[in-house]
Amino acid sequence: MQGKIAIEEHFALGKADEDTARRLQHAESWAETARRLVDIHELRLRDMDKNGIEYAILSLNAPAVQMILDTSEAIEAARRYNDYLAEQVARRPDRFGGFAALPMQDPEAAARELTRCVRELGFPGALVNGFTQKDVPDSVIYYDLPEYRPFWACVQDLDVPFYMHPRTAVYERAQPYEGHPWLFSSAWGFAVETSLHILRLIGSCLFDEYPRLQIVIGHLGERIPYDMWRIDHRIKTIPAGYPAKKPMSSYMKSNVNITTSGHFDDVAFQCAISQMGIDRIMFAVDYPMEVMSDGASWFDSTPLLSEADRVKIARTNTIKLFKLALAA
């Protein structure tokens, strides 16, 4: 179909970052992926035209700012990345939007940068690449910690969604993957890291305190929809002080949205639809980590959707959630 909007589409500034290169250095496709990461207005637009994608919201590839150990450097880098992205969007505002990169090493600075990006640069939200490292390489900081509450208050006040994108585990803490590098990143580890982070946010009572917050996760929900019944059942069966007011599945259906990025499979899609509902699913490709034609052709032809629901997922859900100035 024509007019799709894609919202997990990545770019790199100058060169693809070293962590991404290290993860993909043995992949024959890495050179082409790297070439497409730094391209915005040529290869990317041609692919979008060929695949019926009218508009894409671009975001910095992982882990980027989240792996910068020095806080002041992270703050400067986020601003530089966001200014660059705003310049690219301004060249083709009819085809591109931008997600803010945030220096989560400092929650107050992250809130300031998000505010600037929304109010001055016109970004419709933020995309953060998972947990943050700070000061030492083996640090792992999740955003359910109390010091991030003012940041989440800012997100709710700005009324913009927050996209939680995966990243690989810190190498110093990746012992379970030793000898099994094929599991380390996107095949398995991405979903493990992101789903744990989302469940921590839910369990920390974040959405009880800020009920209007909207989080987005990719890859058809990072496997959470498949396990929602069991998560609720076992938390209830084995009480361990779960503090939130409602079951985790309730928050998934009221405060979390998922995308099709990098998961082009009817069986998983059927589960996601059954658990999350059509109105909480949006189209994405995960370009250029995924081939744009693979994601678009699967979505256009899946028999699971009526044409009305196909339009919702491809376009109108995204326009509504991100308040895009596009015709529904």
Angle CA(76)–CA(30)–CA(219) in degrees, nearest 5?
A: 75
From the list 286, 294, 300, 309, the catalytic residue is 286
In angstroms, the CA 153 to CA 228 distance is 27
In angstroms, the CA 154 to CA 248 distance is 23
Read off the pTM.
0.95
Q: Coil, strand or helix: which one is 286?
A: coil
**Which residues 6+ apart lie within 8 Å of 229 measured at CB?**
249
Task: Give me the residues paired with residue 162 across strands.
Answer: 126, 215
What's at 78, amino acid-wise? A
Order the strands of the 256-259 sheet from edge to edge. Answer: 126-128, 162-164, 215-217, 256-259, 281-282
pLDDT class of 81 with cuts at 50, 70, 90: very high
Are 174 and 185 in contact by the 8 Å Cβ rule? The answer is no
How many other C-beta atoms can be found within 10 angstroms of the C-beta atom of residue 227? 17
144-191 pLDDT per residue, tens: 999 999 999 999 999 999 999 999 888 888 888 899 988 888 999 999
How many other C-beta atoms can be found within 10 angstroms of the C-beta atom of residue 84? 17
- Whether the pLDDT of residue 288 is over 70: the answer is yes
pLDDT class of 16 with cuts at 50, 70, 90: very low
pLDDT > 70: percent of the chain = 95
In angstroms, the CA 34 to CA 52 distance is 23
26-78 pLDDT per residue, tens: 556 678 888 999 999 999 999 999 999 999 999 999 999 999 999 999 999 99
Structural domains in the chain plus CATH codes = 4-322 (3.20.20.140)
Residue 286 falls in the annotated catalytic set? yes
Using CA atoms, how far residue 306 sits from 278, 300, 301, 312, in Å, is 11, 11, 11, 10
